[in-house]
Structures are given as C-alpha cells and as structure tokens.
C-alpha cells in the first residue's frame, strides 16, 4: 500500500518549511498564540512516522495527564484529516501510535509526561532507538528535564537524533531564555535551530480567533506583546508573589478542607481547580485545563480523569448558568459563585494573605500567577488599586470562585485559625446552604427520572 505525500508541503505553513527540513540536534519553535506551531509539529511527526523508517518519537509534556487532552488528540485529529487510519494503529491506553501495513516500518510515537522522568528511561521501541523528542509547552519543563531527555538521544539509529522544544514565552526570567537566547549555553556544543512565529504567520488561522487575539491590543498592550507577538514578558505590577511551586506532600484525605472551582471557556480554557488546606497552609494541588472543549466534552474528560469527584461541591461562574446546569444534570454538585460587589478584590486579598504552595500538576495556574497584574495607563501608572487585567486568568478565577466562603469571612477564617468565631458560624451556614442546594439538585433529578418513566409507560 502506498501513501501519496506529493502535496504535503501544501498543508504546511511556508514559515515552517525550514524547520521541517532542519536536522540540528535541538530545535526551538517558539512565539505567540495561534501561530500553528503544535499543528505543524504534529503533521511533521506523522509524516516522518510513515515516510522515513527509523523514526521513533517521544512526545512529552510536564504532566502526563495533559498529554491525554492535548498532544494525543492532536495526533488523532491529523491522522483523521489526512485519512491515514489504515496505516497507523492507535493505542488509547498507552497513548501511542504505531505504523502498520507498511513493510519494514515499525516506527512509533509515544506520548508521556515528565512527572517521573526516571520512568522514561525504560521506554523502548520495537523498530529501533528513540530518535525524536518533542517537548510541547517546554516552558513547563525544567532545565534538568531537558538535559535528561537530551541524554536519552544516543546509540545507533537510521535517522539523526533531534529534540524539539515548542512553547509560548512568558517570563523574561525563564531558564530557556537565559540558556538558549542570552548565554547560548547549548549552542557552544550543540547545533541549535531557532524559529519564532506569530498568528500573523499562520495562513490557516480561524478569523474569529484572529480577531480575539487582535482585540488584546485594546485590553492590555503588554499582554498582547507577550501572548500574541511571542515576546519575552517583563510584567510590572504583579499581584501574587506569595506562591511557591512544590509537590504536594498530602493525599486528598489528609487535608483539613478542600475547595473546588470551575471557570468556563472554549477558545480560552475551561479550568477546574482544587485547593486544599492543611495546618494553615494553602495547596493548589490539582487542576484540569481544557482548550476548545464543549461543556459536555469537559464533563466527560473530568469523568474519565476524576479530577472533580461527584461527591464534592464546586463553585462555577454564575455568568454561565447553562453550563452549571449541565454539570448538575450529570450528577455533579456544582453551584453558582455569588460574585458580589467587591468579590474580586476580596478574592485577591485572601489569596495574597496565604502561604501558597502550587503543585507542578497545576501548570495553567503557574503560568497565570507569573503574569497576573494590575491594569495600568499608557504611562505605566496603576489605574485602580486591586483591579487586575481580565485576561489569562482562568485558573485564578476558578480559585476565587472556589474560595468565596473563605474570602467573604471577616477576619481569619476558622479553618486557618482553629478558633470558634463568627467566621466559623459563616462557614457552617455556607455548608448548610451547600447541602440544601445539593438536596434540591437530587430532588430535581429524581423528578426528571419519574417523568421519563411515566412518558415511557404512556408510549407503550
């Protein structure tokens, strides 16, 4: 069976042609949102998988779970669009793609996480050595991660070894900027190819999405410069400085209390955030971040990964009552955040008051807190105290919704102080209100079930 790739270049943006042909040991593909970096690399690795025997690819992100909702479905999408299902076996359990029906070609792609980098050392390929590593969202990875992955590209292989880092730059203090752009540490011993692209280079960009990106010029010019034009960020007036990335040492059952928040999106993500308190400290210990998922699709992914459990109460954006209702209909106890006047300011104050640990699983939150900043005028002067830029804040909003019962309390909430106070009474009332709403949801579900049974009986 033959595959016709004679028109392959036509599905690639010309700006990526040099990257496609480049054989350097390390490639850097970076820039703004909407440039098509990830889609290009997905197409490139599918092409190499089928056309160039000897290519074995390890596609990674910092957190293994995120591969299931990002890199893996991207490869599936491309395989479907190019009608290549007859030539590639998909393994949804292993998150892998293996060539079939092509003689002398056992190439394979495996999608994995960097949660346990030692585990990656045991990965083997039936058709030979690992030749290609793709680090998607490479800004999530540490220098140690990258160095250990680079060390894996060794031995005898039919194809040249190559590692590709793709990412949108955020902080000018990031180690990637320091070692690849400023000091050029790697270039001293390894050939490095670097390509920067933006949404303006993407010939296939959706017009509505392009308009969204263009609109950020009016919202916040610095955010537009970083997020859309792919410049390294140097934000002033950063709001949160009290956080630290740290692997959470506790299991869910160890926490004194757990709070769950939901923020909804499509072009910007839907985020579920989970926050636990232990001995007066706050831990953002888990999250689900999904781009371009409908609400039902997000519910199904959450059901599969079990981030928010059915027995937990979550607070969602009250501006999206339809989405909240869909969660309720699927058996989840999601209630509306009140979002009263001053709630954003109170939410910020509460988050700033905490000793705040963020688990590496919460990559979206980590990105947001680095650049969450106050609105300024053209001269860089703060417009209104505690008035944040209302973009790239989905995980932060989910935190504010989740923690409303605490941020609304005057003084130190009892869960932090241990004292029997008015705050304690407020929390008890909040819990009672949650239970009441939960009972109402269950009653409504039972009424619907009874109505369905009656209708079925009538139709018989």
Residue 432: its pLDDT value, please? 64
pLDDT, residue 253, reads 92
**Residues 160-171: what's their mean pLDDT?**
95
Nearest to 76 by CA among 97, 50, 61: 97
Confidence of residue 402 (pLDDT cuts 50, 70, 90): very high
Please give the Cα distance from 57 to 49 (Å, whole number): 8
Q: 150 and 56, same structural domain?
A: yes
Determine the pLDDT at residue 130.
96
- Decide: 349 and 387 in contact? Cβ < 8 Å: no
Higher pLDDT pick, 121 / 25: 25
pTM, to two decimals: 0.84
- pLDDT value at 96 more than 80: yes
Are 45 and 186 members of one domain? Answer: yes
Among candidate residues 153, 183, 204, the one where a domain is terminated: 204
- Does residue 450 lie in a domain region? no
If asked whether residues 255 and 383 sit together in one domain, one would say yes
Q: Look-up: residue for tokens 């130190």? A: 412
Burial bucket for residue 24 (CB in 10 Å: 0-12, 13-18, 19+): middle
**Domain match, 275 and 135 both:** no
Any domain includes 225: no
Q: Please report which helix (H) or strand (E) contains residue 213, including its range.
A: helix 207-219
Question: For residue 29, how many other CB atoms are within 10 A of its CB?
Answer: 23
CA dihedral 417, 419, 423, 424 (to 10 degrees): 120
Residues of the chain with pLDDT > 90, as a percent, come to 73
Mean pLDDT of 305-311: 94
* Mean of per-residue pLDDT scores for the chain: 90
Tokens of 330: 């699927």
Assigned domain for 383 exists? yes
Question: Does some domain include residue 440?
Answer: yes
pLDDT of residue 431: 61
Chain segment 256-300, per-residue pLDDT in tens = 999 999 999 998 999 999 999 999 899 999 999 999 999 999 999
Both 198 and 257 in one domain: the answer is no
pLDDT at residue 421 is higher than 50:
no
State whether 195 and 302 are in the same domain.
no
What is the domain extent for residue 398? 243-444
Name the one residue in this structure whose structure tokens are 């499509």.
266
Task: For residue 235, tell me if it sits in a domain.
Answer: no
pLDDT above 50: residue 420: no
| 292 and 418 together in one domain | yes
DSSP conformation class of 259: E
pLDDT of residue 97: 98
In a domain, 102, yes or no: yes
Does residue 386 surpass a pLDDT of 70? no
Same domain? 193 vs 294? no
User: Residue 227: helix, strand or coil by DSSP?
Assistant: helix
Asked whether residue 201 carries a pLDDT value surpassing 70, the answer given is yes
The pLDDT score that the predictor gives to residue 118 is: 79
Q: Within this chain, do residues 192 and 253 fall inside the same structural domain, yes or no?
A: no
pLDDT tier, 409 (very low <50, low <70, confident <90, very high otherwise): confident
Residue 148 pLDDT > 80, yes or no?
yes
269 lies in a domain? Answer: yes
Beta strand extents in 279-423 (DSSP E only): 281-290, 313-316, 333-336, 356-358
Q: Is the pLDDT of residue 419 over 50?
A: no
Q: What is the CATH number of the domain that holds 59?
A: 3.40.50.300
For the packed helices 363-371 and 394-402, what is the interaxial angle rounded to 10 degrees? Answer: 100
| Percentage, residues of the chain above pLDDT 70 | 91
Is the pLDDT at 316 greater than 90? The verdict is yes
In degrees and rounded to multiples of 5, residue 396 shows phi and psi of -65, -45
Over 50: is that where the pLDDT of 94 sits? Answer: yes
Domain assignment present for residue 209? The answer is no
Q: What is the model's pLDDT at position 382? A: 66
- The whole-angstrom separation of Cα 58 and Cα 186 is 21
How many H helices and E strands in the chain?
Answer: 17, 15
Same domain assignment for residues 35 and 175: yes
Query: Tell me, what's the pLDDT at 418?
Result: 46
Q: Is 396 found in the same domain as 259?
A: yes
Taking residues 338-357, what's their average pLDDT?
A: 92
Domain count for the chain, please give it: 2
Q: Are residues 294 and 440 in the same domain?
A: yes
Going by C-alpha positions, the residue among 220, 204, 264 that lies closest to residue 397 is: 264
- DSSP class of residue 20 equals H
């Amino acid at each position: 069976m033959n595959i016709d790739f004679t028109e392959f270049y036509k599905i690639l943006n010309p700006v990526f042609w040099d990257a496609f042909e480049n054989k350097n040991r390390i490639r850097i593909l970076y820039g703004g949102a909407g440039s098509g970096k990830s889609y290009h690399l997905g197409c490139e690795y599918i092409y190499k998988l089928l056309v160039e025997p000897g290519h074995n690819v390890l596609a990674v992100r910092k957190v293994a779970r995120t591969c299931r909702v990002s890199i893996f479905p991207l490869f599936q999408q491309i395989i479907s669009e190019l009608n290549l299902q007859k030539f590639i076996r998909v393994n949804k359990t292993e998150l892998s793609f293996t060539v079939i029906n092509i003689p002398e070609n056992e190439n394979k792609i495996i999608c994995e996480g960097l949660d346990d980098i030692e585990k990656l050392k045991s990965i083997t390929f039936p058709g030979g050595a690992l030749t290609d590593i793709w680090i998607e969202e490479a800004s999530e990875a540490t220098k140690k991660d990258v160095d250990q992955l680079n060390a894996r590209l060794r031995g005898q292989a039919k194809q040249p070894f190559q590692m590709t880092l793709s990412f949108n730059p955020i902080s000018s203090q990031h180690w990637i900027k320091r070692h690849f752009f400023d000091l050029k540490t790697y270039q001293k011993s390894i050939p490095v190819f670097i390509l920067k692209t933006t949404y303006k280079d993407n010939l296939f960009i959706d017009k509505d999405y392009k308009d969204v990106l263009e609109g950020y010029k009016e919202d916040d010019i610095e955010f537009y410069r970083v997020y859309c034009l792919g410049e390294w960020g140097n934000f002033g007036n950063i709001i949160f400085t009290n956080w630290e990335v740290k692997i959470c040492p506790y299991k869910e059952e160890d926490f004194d209390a757990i709070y769950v928040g939901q923020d909804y999106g499509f072009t910007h993500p839907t985020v579920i955030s989970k926050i636990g308190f232990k001995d007066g400290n706050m831990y953002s210990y888990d999250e689900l971040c999904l781009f371009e998922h409908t609400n039902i699709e997000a519910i199904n992914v959450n059901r599969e990964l079990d981030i928010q459990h059915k027995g937990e109460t979550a607070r969602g954006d009250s501006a999206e009552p339809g989405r909240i209702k869909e969660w309720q209909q699927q058996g989840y106890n999601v209630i509306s955040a009140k979002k009263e006047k001053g709630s954003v300011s109170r939410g910020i104050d509460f988050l700033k008051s905490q000793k705040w640990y963020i688990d590496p699983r919460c990559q979206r939150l980590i990105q947001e807190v680095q650049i969450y900043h106050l609105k300024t005028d053209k001269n860089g002067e703060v417009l209104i105290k505690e008035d944040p830029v209302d973009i790239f804040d989905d995980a932060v909003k989910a935190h504010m919704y989740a923690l409303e019962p605490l941020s609304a309390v005057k003084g130190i909430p009892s869960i932090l102080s241990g004292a029997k106070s008015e705050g304690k009474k407020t929390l008890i009332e909040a819990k009672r209100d949650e239970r009441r709403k939960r009972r109402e949801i269950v009653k409504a579900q039972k009424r619907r079930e009874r109505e369905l049974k009656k209708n079925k009986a009538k139709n018989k």
